[in-house]
Homo-oligomer: A and B are copies of this chain.
Amino acid sequence: MGGAEAVGGRKARSAETEAALKEAAKRVFARSGYLNAKITDITTEAGRAAGSFYSHFTGKEQLLEQLLLDMLAEGDEQVEDPAHSADFTDPAAVRWHVAAYWRFVTANREVILALQQAAMVDERFAERLRLLMEPTLHDIADHLEHIRRAGGRLPGDPLVVATAMAALMSQFAVTWLLGGAPQGRELGEREAVDTLTAFIVHGITGPPPGPPGTA
């Protein structure tokens, strides 16, 4: 070995810088937005020289790509708590999914916001996000189809209702977690999850009039 004071050798130093750049990027994205962020903003925030950036990434897009992969890797570790139901007529099942989504967005706000911005400008990121969402969308649609077969009434075609649910959750999260919330009103996780869950449970369940299915 021989490293005088530095903890590790060259590899470790390189990894440190790469991590510093990624963390700096998240902070800069959160502050100025992905599209406004300059490469030198990121390197300055990380306390490195401009040229250093290109030893680790080919450009801003690839850096974001890496952040996306990191996010998904972490997400996969957490998700899939075995003990959760997929029966959306059970409010607890809906709540579980809503809460998981809310926590995911909270934990990854910078990256998610950056991805949305990138998708507005770069068709490749837009397509990427669409492909990421698709399985989830069909998964939800399947659950809804199940409700319908069990005699429940849906507000429309399962796939369309699934996009409505996704739209509701994602934009609601944008409003309260990413964008500027209306005039300083704050929203805790508890209230957010409660409201979304109730809205969705009633929204996808058939209309109240008619013989009430006693829960």
**Chain A interfacial positions (CB closer than 8 Å to B):** 33, 35-36, 116-117, 120-121, 126-127, 130, 134, 137, 155-157, 159-161, 163-164, 166-168, 170-172, 174-176, 179-180, 182-183, 185, 187, 191, 194-209, 212-215
The 5 A-B pairs with the shortest beta carbon distances in the complex, nearest first, are A155-B198, A156-B195, A203-B203, A167-B171, A171-B171
Whether B212 lies near A208 (C-beta < 8 A) is yes
Q: Nearest B residue to A160 by beta-carbon distance?
A: B195
List of B residues within 8 angstroms of A204 by Cβ: 199, 202
List of B residues within 8 angstroms of A168 by Cβ: 164, 167-168, 171-172
Docked pose: A201 CA to B130 CA in angstroms:
28
Docked pose: A140 CA to B164 CA in angstroms:
19
- In-complex Cβ contact of A202 among B33, B35, B196, B202 (8 A): B202
A-B contact pairs, 17 of them (CB 8 A): A117-B121, A155-B197, A156-B194, A156-B198, A160-B191, A161-B195, A163-B176, A166-B175, A167-B171, A168-B171, A168-B172, A171-B171, A202-B202, A202-B203, A202-B207, A208-B212, A208-B215
- In-complex Cβ contact of A155 among B134, B161, B195 (8 A): B195
List of B residues within 8 angstroms of A161 by Cβ: 195, 199
Q: Nearest B residue to A187 by beta-carbon distance?
A: B160
Docked pose: A209 CA to B121 CA in angstroms:
47
List of B residues within 8 angstroms of A196 by Cβ: 164
Q: Nearest B residue to A121 by beta-carbon distance?
A: B35
Given A130-B182, A137-B182, A202-B202, 19 additional A-B pairs, CB 8 A: A120-B120, A134-B182, A156-B191, A156-B194, A156-B198, A159-B182, A159-B185, A160-B191, A161-B195, A164-B172, A167-B168, A167-B174, A168-B168, A170-B171, A171-B171, A199-B204, A206-B208, A208-B212, A212-B212
Docked pose: A14 CA to B167 CA in angstroms:
43
List of B residues within 8 angstroms of A121 by Cβ: 33, 35-36, 117
Give A198 Cβ to nearest chain B Cβ, in Å. Answer: 3
Whether B160 lies near A33 (C-beta < 8 A) is no
